Each structure stands twice: as structure tokens, then as C-alpha cells.
A and B are shown apart, each in its own frame.
Chain A
């Protein structure tokens, strides 16, 4: 199967509390923070690798193309996915600030038309904007079937369709989607038995989480191809549908803490002091 995995870099999610708003309030700045791959996108890369291999025989099947839209440095983030085992990369250069959901979805649509993958496998959302929109927009623009918040995938009909489980508020929804399709993944897609592809024995248990790149993988990634394109050259419209006029940090919390003696005292304080109910 040919899988396209979009990958975005985000500023260190473990240090999100260090994000600041620029002086003019026009942008969120993340100076001094490290860039990391969006965790959900890394899960998508891992899921794509599991779909396209026989893990028991250490054999690769199909092709995985990783694409990112962003500044030239993003090539580094793409290489990280190539080191894990993806085959090649595409970098569409654009400013970090220009990556509004519709712009990204349109660019991805143009890439899908160019690459013709069987599956677009992506994170359910990025942990910077947390918009949770691109996958849904892309499926709509392509007119493709879509499954979001996917926690497990097993292929059927020789990969022509996917049985997926979606984790939603009411519980778990089981769906069968025919490819080509857009699938967005949730955290549990990287649990040991979340992906079954008919090639790796069903009894195989992966390690939890995205795999570490091997030393060989890291060295091979240097030589893998990353095509570079510019947003206008893709012919997709780069005007954002939403704009953000102003950002503000939430007011700082007072940080005070009072200990109460009993549950009754707690209920009383919640009711009469905090007016929580």
C-alpha cells in the first residue's frame, strides 16, 4: 500500500507552559523551545510502518511518503521519520505562521492528487493549535471516506478496505472504510496489537509507542530523497479561512492552596466560596 503521512513540527509539548505571546499580541512565540514532531503524527508514522511491513521477517511492503509543510528546517523533522523507516519525503516550504488548517488541507489535497496514495494516515490533531480539523477538511475536499480518532486498524480484502475502531466520547465505534481514505489516529494506535496488516502474524506484539530509529536507519535517512516544493507551485490557494486577530495569555492563577479538614468543609467551600454549584 502507498501511504502518505503528513507530519508537522511543533514546539516542545513538554514545555508548552513556556510559550509566550509576542509584544503586539499578533502571534504565539516559542523562542528557546525545541522543535519536536507532533506526537500524533509520529504515531501515524509508526502505524504506517506497521501497515507496510512484515515485522516477523523484517520485510518492507509498499511505500511510505512523509510530507510536511513548513520552513526549510522542517526537513530535519522529515528525516526523523525517514530514520524510523519511511521511504521518502516531501517538503512544501511555507512560514510557520501561515499554517492555518484550510491552507494545509488544500496543500495536502494537491499533494494527494500528485502522489495518488492509497491512504492518508495522519495525527488526529497537532498539539500546538489543537484544531483537529485538517484530516476532516482533506477528506471532504477529496471526497474520500474518512475515519477519525482511530485506535486500531486491521486490513481486509487485501488492503482494499480497513476495519478501524474509533475512540469517541460514547465508546468505541467500529467502521469499515474502503481505500483510498483519510484516517486520523489517536494515541492507542501505537499500542502493541493495534495494527494488523495480514502480513505480520496477528500474534505479533509491538513495543508500545513509536519505534526508535535504528542506527542504520539514521544513517540511511541521510541518503533518502526529500523533494522540495513551494506552496504556490502546488497550485493550492494559500489564503487562510480563519485569521487570529489577537492572542492573550490566560490570567495567571493565584496559586493559593487551602487544606480542608473534611468532605463537608470541602462541599461547603465549593458551594459558598467558589460558587462551583
Chain B
């Protein structure tokens, strides 16, 4: 596919148009849920990625599949930040807003930068749509949009005209108006259409009428940009490290990481999963790769999903279950069993706004303490957190490595923003991926007998003896087991010992993970510490502070349990430690408890990532 597309350095518009060069742009596409804004944003992302920009995206859509058309509740938006240099976030405020109807305008205008470009589908600004969202007069006609550069385009009419030769009726034809909008934006930013055309032809290969209508609308939008002489810009390719790149979302990266872990360990993968937003895409993705021997079961509920995964782990597979907060609640008891059985298991929690059903499609980092402590009894387990969409690939492999090496369930924390957000990913060479050696027990380990809880002296892992192995028949369960033999034991001292052993096994993992790294000013007195998806916002905020000559350092935790061994020592080097989190201070609590450091919490729970600008101001406030 790549070969047929114009290389990034050719004159993109092909018309010699004079273009104003920009170093970065933030565009938000906003429309009704049915307007195809996610797809429009996704296509523009793909084109920009291929063009060679660095980028970061933020889809923001309602929980309802089809909220009432034209209402504020039904507005779906997709923001993309693309640039000629490396960027860390999807951008605080868009400089360009594409609004397909009055609801989209009303819901998003407050975020548009003063003087920003506003591109509207004027056909949708009729009396009914205006009334639905409480506009007394048409904002396109009064002076309420004075502070912006408004471009009115009759997108609906133009789309219908562009596809009039097709057999589609008016309603069907109208649906292509998102492609018209995409065509306009592609012209404005000098993006070629070929890859989108190829994509449409492939997607609608069985429905050529629809493919042609979309292509006609896309071209009409592009042509409109040129003839109406809309402002033309260019954003050069970013200077990225050499290599082959692709665009990847967090959920896709997790699926790829799991497959990679299976290949690297030669242990087949079994996913038990119950559909839940925003984790379902991992189930969809993994169910496609049967040629890798990946077994997926859509279970009857969250409890069954993790139970199936544990059953698979008992049988010599890498059992995985994917979920979000409400599902993690339900899995708690089975997860405790996995701690007791000491079997490798991955529980992947794509966090979303809580409590309860909360904000299913919005992001939050509020399951950390749940992951840490959300089981009865003393039941420690390792926690790994991804911090960008591509890093989800690493998190899956790292989680699997720990699970298989230490015979333990591992929780991987991602969140809604990482799950759906996309960034360019430098594809790693398979030869460079870590090897994950796994050996199943094949011999008795205690004279003639096999003791399932006789531990490896260094890792404290118990042997993995799988059904089908003659002579190693054994029974394990949730009742306390005697050290070594694994027989049921109610002995008080044994329970104490087993509790200590389970704790020591997890704690010792600190020797086997990367130390906590930091960057920033050598003489900085303040450290900004984060975990998870705040990585980009914290990085951008610190970068801005340092550009202004304010000294600051930052570090980001990728392992939350155990913490890297140097964590306490590193934190103690700074006068102040500031922890921004999309929760009420969960990492702060852990750091305070473990290291007796009085950290400063910055908290936000809006279902959206921190804006770098807000964070910059908040951090600065705490500096003096």
C-alpha cells in the first residue's frame, strides 16, 4: 500500500499554491455521532502520519451509540495534534474547529483558541437544529463568532451535488459530507488524497456506489479549498528517529504486545473477555489472529472471563483477561485465587471514569489503589502501567515476562485515553524483543514426589506442572497450602510463612525491573512524578517551564508494584515532589506511605487528559 502513495517530500497539493509554514496544528473535528467524525479524524491522522508528522490524537465520543441527532449529548469529536517536531499530547486547545452542526459548535467553541479557524457546515444551521441546542439566533449571522476566522461551507448541498450521478438517494448521498470536510482540510494542509481514496475503495469494495460517492465528496471538498482560495498551510515532516513507522492505538498495541509475548515465550495465548468499553477492541483485535494460535472466548460475564483465563494458565497457556473498572470489581475474587494458585495471568484494566458505570467513554486513572489492594486478604501482585499508546506494546510484554517468570497474576493499567488515542510507533525489530524463557516441570522435585509449592530459590516462583505430564498429578486450590507440598494446611505458622513468601516474591521483582529514570535540570529542586497516561501532559508542561528558565525535573513510574528499587532514593534528592494524577491522589498516597515523603498532589477528574497549559500553571504555583 505504501508504495503507491506520493512520498512525503513531493509538493502535496501539486498546484504550487503558496503555503504558510506552521510548526504544529491542532484540529478538532466535531459533529453528530452519526456524522462519522471519528472516521474523518482517523483518516486525517493516517494521512498526516504517512506524511511524516509527529502526532497525537484524542477521540472524545458519547457513551450512547446513537444519542438523539443534533443534540449536545450526541456530539462526537476527534482532536489531532500534528507537528514538524516531537510532541507529547493531543494539544490543549484546537486552533481549527470543524463543526458539522450547531450542537458541535456550541459544545466545542469554548475550546477554540481566540482567532482560531472555524469551518462550519452552514446547511446544518437551520431553525430546528439551532433550537435544539438553544441558539436564539443563528450564530453564523449574528456577531457572536467575531473573534474567529469563520469559513462557511454548504457541505450538505455540495455533497449532494457532487454525488448526483450516483444511484444513491439524497439521504444516502448526504452521508458523505464528512469526506467533503476531510477534502477541505486536506487541501488546507497540503495533504494528498490518494491514500484516502485507496482506503475508501478497499473499505467499500462491495459497495462501489458508496465508495464513489465518498470519493466524489472528498475531491469536491479539496477542489472547493482551491477555488475558494482558503488559507493554505504546510506542516513539514517531523524529524523522527530512523526506522519504519506505523500509527498505533493503545488497545491495538496491547493486542500486538500480547501476541509478541506469546511468540517470545512459546506459550500460547488464551483471552477470556466480556465486552466492556473501552477495552473491547482488544478482544476484537485478538480474535483476528487465530493463525498465531490465539484462543479467544467471549465469556458470559467478567467473572467467567478471568476464570477461563486462569483455567488456561493452569493448563500451560498464558491466560489473559481484559476489562475496565466495573469488570475489575467483579474479577476480584478470582484474582485473589490466582494470587493463591500462583499461576501466570494478565489482567488488563483499561481505566475509565468511575465510580460505578461512571463515564464509560472517558478516561481516568482511578483504579490504581484498586489494583493494589482490591482483594481480601494479603494478596500482592505486580502492577505495570503503560504511559503512551505505543508503550502499551511494552507493557503487555513486560507484564507477561513478570507473570511467567514469577508465576503470578499481573495487572496492566492503561486508560481510555491511551486505548483510543493514536501515535506514530517506530516498529521494533522482532530480534530485539526480549526472550521470555519458560520451562514446564517435567520431573518429580521431592524424591519420588512432586511438590507444587517447592519454590525456585532465586525467583521464589513455584514450578509450573501442566496437566498431561505423567507423574506430576497434583491438586491446587484457594485454601491455604502447606509450604512445599501444597497440601491444605490450617497451621498458623505456615499461614504466616506463606503470606511472607507471597509478599517477598513480589517485592523481589524490584531487582528485575528498570530503575526509575529522571530528566530535566541537574540542579532542579522540584521533581514532577507521574504514572500512566499523564506522561505526555507532564512532559509538555515541564518542557514549557524549562523553556521559560524555570528549573524542574520529571520522572515517570512504569512499575507501580513493586516500585523500582531506586525510587525512594531518587525522590529524596528533591526538595519537593509534585504528583499530577487523574484521580484524587492515589499514587501520592502510596508514595507517602512507602517513603514518608510529603508529596504535593495535583488532581483532576474530568474524564479528559490534563491540558499541558493547566499543568504548567499548577506546577508553577507550587514552585515558590
Task: Please determine whether chains A and B interact with each other in the same assembly.
Answer: no
Interface residues of chain B, those whose CB is within 8 Å of chain A, are: none
